[in-house]
Structure formats: C-alpha cells, structure tokens
Structure 1
C-alpha cells in the first residue's frame, strides 16, 4: 500500500469512526429526550391528580354547608 492509499484508508477509517460516534451521541440525546418527556408526563399527571383532589375538597366543603 503506498502513502496515498494509506492516507485514504486512514481518512475513511476516521470518517467511519466519526459517524459512529455521532450516531452514539444522537442515540444518547434521543434517550435523554424520551426520559425527560416521560418525567414531564408523570409530573403533569401528579399535578392533575392534586388539582382534582383540591377541586373535590372545595366542592365537598361547599356542599356540606
């Protein structure tokens, strides 16, 4: 293998490694986004349940008078 072929091979190898690293980072970012989405959905569900509980308590207090 001459110098040109060797340099071309190394460049191709580096490109492949860079693409793989990019794919790994994108995958991790996607996983983090999904986790954040699920956490926000859970927080929203909890807030909704608390609001419903508060509304029920107010309704019960008004109806008991």
Structure 2
C-alpha cells in the first residue's frame, strides 16, 4: 500500500473516530439535559407538595386548637367556672 493511501486511510479512521466521539458526546449531553429537566420537574412537584402539606398542617392545627378551646369551655361550664 502506498504512503498516500495509508495517510488517507489513517485520516479516514481518525475522522470516523472523531465523528463517533462527537456523536457520543452529543448523546450524553442530550441525556444530561433530559435528566436535568426531569429533576427540575420533580423539584417543582416536591415544592408544590411541600406547600400543600404545610397548608394542610396549618388547617389541621387550627381545627385542633378550636376543638381544644371548645373542650376547655365545656369543662369550665360544667364546673361553673365560665364567665358567661
């Protein structure tokens, strides 16, 4: 094989290797972008769930407080200690 043919073949092999490397790099980058988007979506969902849970706990706390105050008032009334 001639030197020119060898150089041509080596150049072709190098170009194919670089193209394969670039394709793999692009594919990995695209996969990373998809993973990042999925993580961000999951993060938003976690924040929404956290906000909902906080609201639920706040509402439940208020209900418990109201019920406890009602129980205290009932006991005071039963014992004749109420101010009414």
Asked if these proteins are the same fold (TM beyond 0.5), I'd say yes
In the TM superposition, residue 60 of structure 1 has moved relative to its aligned partner by 1.1
- State the superposition RMSD in angstroms: 1.1
Equivalent position of 1:60 in the other structure = 59
In the TM superposition, residue 63 of structure 1 has moved relative to its aligned partner by 2.1
In the TM superposition, residue 12 of structure 1 has moved relative to its aligned partner by 0.4
Any stretches of 5+ residues in structure 2 without a counterpart?
Answer: 67-84
Scaled by the length of structure 1, what TM-score is found? 0.92
Scaled by the length of structure 2, what TM-score is found? 0.72
Equivalent position of 1:44 in the other structure = 43
Any stretches of 5+ residues in structure 1 without a counterpart?
Answer: none
- How many residue pairs get matched? 64
